[in-house]
Homo-oligomer: A and B are copies of this chain.
Amino acid sequence: MLKIGEFSFQSRLLLGTGKFHDYDVQKQAVAVSEAEILTFAVRRMNIFEAHQPDLLDKLDVTKYTLLPNTAGAKTAEEAVRIAKLAKASGLCDMVKVEVIGDDKTLLPDPFETFEACRILLAEGFTVLPYISDDVVLAKRLEELGVHAVMPAAAPIGSGRGIVNPLNLRFIIEQAKVPVIVDAGIGSPADAAFAMELGADGVLLNTAVSGANDPIMMAHAMKLAVEAGRMGYEAGRIPKKRYAAASSPLEGMITGE
């Protein structure tokens, strides 16, 4: 069971709601994913600007834990303002703090992210910052009191998978709060790998919404996250250099 702040979840897959070409596809993808936490960009919503769509239009939002994100913010101040707007609109159970520091890579700004988290924690939010895989940054945020850390596997939308499993493992080993791998997941194998490293959850969006068949991919991701988690809990075999026969010379089952 995944626990973030006061919330508990059966599913370890968090799904983004943006970038779907069709609301009905979005709805079905969300359904088959069995995700319990949905994220969306407040700035892309009609709660931010009237002419924006309602990304959650087709979804029964009472069934989900809503994780608005502050995408589009470039400063702590903007992120805080967006988070408060989400709360005021009633669409905020938890908040994903996303403060972009670079337009090309969309990688997050450690300083503004930290500051935004500080302010929002003081105001009682349940705070999940989107961060790089900087190990000490994750540690400092945890010391600050965030409810989970969300290191990127790779740049948003890049689909490159876990570029640096070493740092991810370091973050997971030191963390006492949940570690949700966020951004960069491209395929079910990537999601499974993140979970096998010991991540508590995986958040993805483009990998599903951008697939040729988003609904089937949502199903695949659900299975992959479960498979990866089971693989982690089941205790995988070590990697070895040399072969070891599956059919050993000495029988390992010697009869009853």
Contacts and interface: CB of A to CB of B under 8 A. Distances in A.
A230 interface: yes
A68 to B, nearest CB: 11
A37 to B, nearest CB: 15
Q: Is the interface of A mostly helix, strand, loop or mixed?
A: loop
B156 A136 contact: no
A71 B247 contact: yes
Interface string A174-193: 10000000010011111011
Contact of A211 (B193, B212, B237, B256): B237
Contact of A41 (B108, B188, B247): B247
Interface residues of A, number: 104
A134 B40 CA distance: 25
A121 interface: no
12 contacts: A18-B253, A43-B247, A102-B136, A105-B170, A157-B240, A158-B241, A160-B239, A189-B196, A205-B246, A213-B234, A222-B227, A223-B226
